[in-house]
Every structure is written in structure tokens, then in C-alpha cells.
Chains A and B, each alone.
Chain A
Amino acid sequence: MSGLSGMMPSGVTGRGLVLLVLAALGLAVAPFVADRYLVSVLTTVLWFAYVGQAWNVMMGFSGLLSLGHALYVGLGAYVSAAVFVHFGIGPWAGMVLAMLVAVVAGCVIGFLGFRFGVKGVHFALLTIAFAEVARIGFDHITWVGGSGGFFLPVEAGASDPLNLRGSPVLFYYVALALVVGALFLSRALLHSRLGYQWLAVREEPDAAEASGVDLFRARMTAVAVSSALTALGGVFQAFYFNNLFPEQVFSMGRSIEIILPAIVGGIGTLVGPILGAFILTPLGEALTFLIEAGGLDLPGLKQLFYGAALVAIVVFRPEGVWPWLARRLRLVRQPGEGA
């Protein structure tokens, strides 16, 4: 984790800026040069970068460990899909509703946690419990398909960007927009009064409170922002895959997949979740590809790989890859080098 220093764009060196622009350009033109498969992989990368960024608002900025973020993805996905299928309400209106539902769920968890002093690991358990309850509960809500899954109507060749119906390239750009949007929003939040208060709460809650920070309010807003953003990721998922199964959407495994990029890239940094997603997802895909090419049938190997990656990071780069990389390649100015 790190503070504002070292992640402020004002602290980006010329070299860092060049790299940033190149990366942005590369991502902007990628669909024109990449094949279908690569675009789909990149879309997955961007999706994880986005939800990782959303999770980071809670853990990275405010020190609140959520291990149940699949809950917000699932709620966002199911709410937007349900109003679309049953009432014909498109994703733009649906996403507002989706975010609202996710925020309410987040606030219930937050209220229980913060009012009754449930901290750290116990708070994390609370977040898992809610995600699990949702997973099991949605198995029985037949209005949205229950355990048999919920499906959005798909018309071949339909192109209706306003309703998120269209080609994979459309979804690629939507995912890219989400990542860019979340990055700028996170940056703005971090530089705001609220951002300072979040970091203070993360570092030393007692001292933050003595400095006038309302702990309950600061933590609740972190949960609200994080759950709302994550729900948008869920809306995307619903309209991209067109099918939802509680067993997958709300699974514990999904929650872990969401947080891995941020941990690998660097918790509490702006670039960390994005970098982490670009490291983990392609490696996982390559592994799957190699295994299949080799004619082997080894289910769960990707999870094993993620586990190994996590162990490696915790042991060798506990602060994540980004802070280390930024120092090594001099992409940001270090504290004391002048702003």
C-alpha cells in the first residue's frame, strides 16, 4: 500500500507519461489489429482491471477487506438483466437500479460491521457470508431462473449500442471506458477531502477520528462507492455473456479472482489493479491454452496458478508489482525528489 505520494500523476516522470500515453494508444487501437480471440481476452483483462479498481476503493483506500465482492457483481448483473428481460428496461436505466441495489446491500453489510465493531478478518467473513447467502438465495429465485440460469435474449448480428447489444468490439470499448472512468474517478477521490480521510482511516483509525474524521461515515461512503462501481461491472457482465448462473456469479472463487489483480499489482495504488489484471489474466489464458494444446485435462490448474502467483507476490513483492516497477523504471518521482 502507499499513500498519495508516488501515485499522484503530478509525480509521474516524463518517461512514465510516455509509457502511459503509449499504453492508452495501444488499448485504443487494439481491436483494429487484434483478432477476435485476443479482443475477448483483452475484454476480460479490462473487466478485472475495472472491478479490481472498484474493490481497491474499499481495501486499498479505506483498509476495509471485502472478500465478497462477487455479491455486488451478481446483484448488478441480476438486477439489470431482470429489468431488461421482464420489463424491457435497457441497461442505462437498469444500471442505476443495479447500483442502487448493490449500494443498499453494501450499506447493510457496512452498517452491521461498523456499528458493531466487526473489524479486519471478521469483517471479511461478514462480506463472504452475504455473498454466500446471495449465491444460495438466487438458486431459488425462479423469477430470474433460479439455479438453472438466467438468459438474456440474443439476436444474431444485432447492433444496438445504446442497449449494449452488439459485437465483441463494442464490449471491448465499453470495458475500456469503464477502466478509464474508474481510474480517473479513483484519482479524483484520492485527491479529495474524502480521499484523505479514507487514507487516514486506513492508516490509523484512532488518530483519524481524533483529527475530526467520522469513521462510520468515511467507511460507509467507501463501501457505497465500491459496491456501486462493482455493480456496473455486473451489468457489463450480464449483457456481455447473456447468461447468469448464481453458482458462478456469486461464487467465492469469483470474489477472489476480483481481488487478485489489485493484490498482485499493488493494493492502494491507482495503476496496481490494472497492471495486475494485465499480468494475471493473460498468463492464466496462456496456461489454459497450453494445457489444451497439450491434450491434457487438468481442471483447476488456473486456480493453482493464481494461488502460486499470490504466494510469490506475498513473499517477494508484498507491496505489489506496480510500486516496485515504478521505482525501477523511474515512472514516478520518489518522495523527496521534489514534486
Chain B
Amino acid sequence: MTALLEVERLSKRFRGLKAVSEVSFTVPEGRILALIGPNGAGKTTTFNLIAGVFPPDEGRVTLKGRNLTGLKPNQVCAAGIGRTFQIVKPFGQLTVEENVVVGALARERSVETARRQARAVLERLELADQANRPARSLTLPDRKRLEVARALATRPTLLLLDEVLAGLRPTEVDRMVEVLRELNRREGLTILMIEHVMRAVMALSDRVVVLDHGEKIADGAPAEVVADPRVVESYLGAEALD
């Protein structure tokens, strides 16, 4: 397995607070990697560093060997990384379909073609029946799905998912897990996901990286990681040992 994404010694400080400190990990092509850890561990900051929201103080991000460090979010998107936002950011006044068309236009110049692609993505995420509704009128689970749809429409080689399962009911979690598994298995889409829903993490991920206080404290197969005493102590809590 070759590494698709390589994160090397990434660090970021916010006014003296070390949000991310020398974090390194790789995401192999075609795999699903989960980034877990307690609140404030630096997961979303790591995502933002990869996606180009702000540059790292130190460290490097490469995708297929190409250095992405210091690129702007739109350039990172063009390079092949699609992302969702933890706090969903739909284009509220636009319809669901128009939201996804914007994503598709990242790689497509013709609006007509982009619209066709958007419809296909909506089908796959079971949002087709909502296509003409304003995005602001969607329920939270549908908004989360729309985030994924919009990111997918940019035709990424790597998909960054920031807590797309948070706030969903168990049945909705299962549906989303199924969709993500399909995307991974059928199309070989590589996924890096921040997730708190451990059930989904265990079901989906090939590898798990654990962050705590901005540092990586574990990196390995899901079963190994959840058995790691440091992970249990910092994140999962004693009840996970049962």
C-alpha cells in the first residue's frame, strides 16, 4: 500500500497554546483512517492544516508526494482533497442540488455536466428527492449528508470527514456508514475521518490515530488502539474496558 496522504511533524500554535504538536501519520491509498481523541485534542485543527485553512507553523502535508503545505483551501480542493465541516456549512439559500453543483464545478466548466454529476451524487447519498428544496430547510442528518455530497462532487481522491455522524440517530448512523463503506469499497475512495461514534469507527476504519492535547498517543489497528491503556485513560474512559 502506498501512502496517499502523508502528514509529517505537523505543528500549530494559537497564541502560545499548542493545538497540534509534531503530529505525523500516513493514510494509505484506498483505506479508511479514523482520527479520534477527546474534545480539544487538535483533531479539527489537524484537518484545517491539511485542508489549507491556515498554514502549519512547522511540518509538511503531501498528497501523492505533492507538497500541499501552504496552499489555500481551493488549491487543496483542486489537488484532490474534499472536506466536510463539523458545524455544517450549507449554502442555505441555494437548493440542495445547487449546493452540490457548486462542488461539481470545482472540476467541471460546464454547468450542465456539473448538474448531471450533482444528480448522480445526490442519488447515491439518498438526497435526490430533496434536490429542489432550499438547503436551509433540511434536517440535521440531511445537512450532514449534503456536506458529504458537496465534498464528493469535487471528485476527491481523499475525503476528509469531520464528525459527519455526530448528532445522528443509530439508524441514520448505519445508513451513513453503509454509504461510506460503499464509496470506499466500490470506488476505492480514501477516507480520513474525525469521529466520536466508536461503533462506526470500529466498523469502518482500517487504522485509528488517537490525538490528545495536540499529540499523537496511538496509531494502529482499531482493536489494538482501543485496548491501549493510554487511549482508554485519555479518551474512551474506564467503562470502555468492560
Contact = CB atoms under 8 A, between A and B. Distances in A.
Interface of A: 1-5, 191-193, 196-197, 199-200, 203-204, 206-215, 268, 335-336, 338-339
Contacts of A192: 111
Given A210-B83, A211-B103, A211-B105, 12 more contacts: A196-B98, A196-B114, A206-B53, A207-B150, A208-B102, A209-B73, A210-B82, A210-B85, A211-B154, A213-B102, A215-B74, A335-B95
B38 interface: no
A190 to B, nearest CB: 10
B188 to A, nearest CB: 21
| A-B residue pairs, 3 tightest by C-beta | A212-B106, A203-B91, A207-B89
A272 to B, nearest CB: 14
A192 to B, nearest CB: 7
Interface in B56-88: 72-74, 77-78, 82-83, 85
Interface of B: 51, 53, 72-74, 77-78, 82-83, 85, 89-95, 98, 101-103, 105-107, 109-111, 114, 132-134, 150-151, 153-154
A200 B77 CA distance: 15
A4 B95 contact: yes
**Interface secondary structure of A, over-half rule:** loop
Contacts of A210: 51, 73-74, 77, 82-83, 85, 151
Q: Which of B78, B89, B106 has the most chain A CB atoms closer than 10 A to its own CB?
A: B89
B90 A2 contact: no
Contacts of A206: 53, 73, 85, 89
B17 to A, nearest CB: 22
Contacts of B103: 211-212
B132 to A, nearest CB: 5
Contact of B106 (A204, A211, A215): A211
B106 A193 contact: no
Q: Which of B93, B98, B134, B154 has the most chain A CB atoms closer than 10 A to its own CB?
A: B93
Contact of B111 (A196, A207, A268): A196
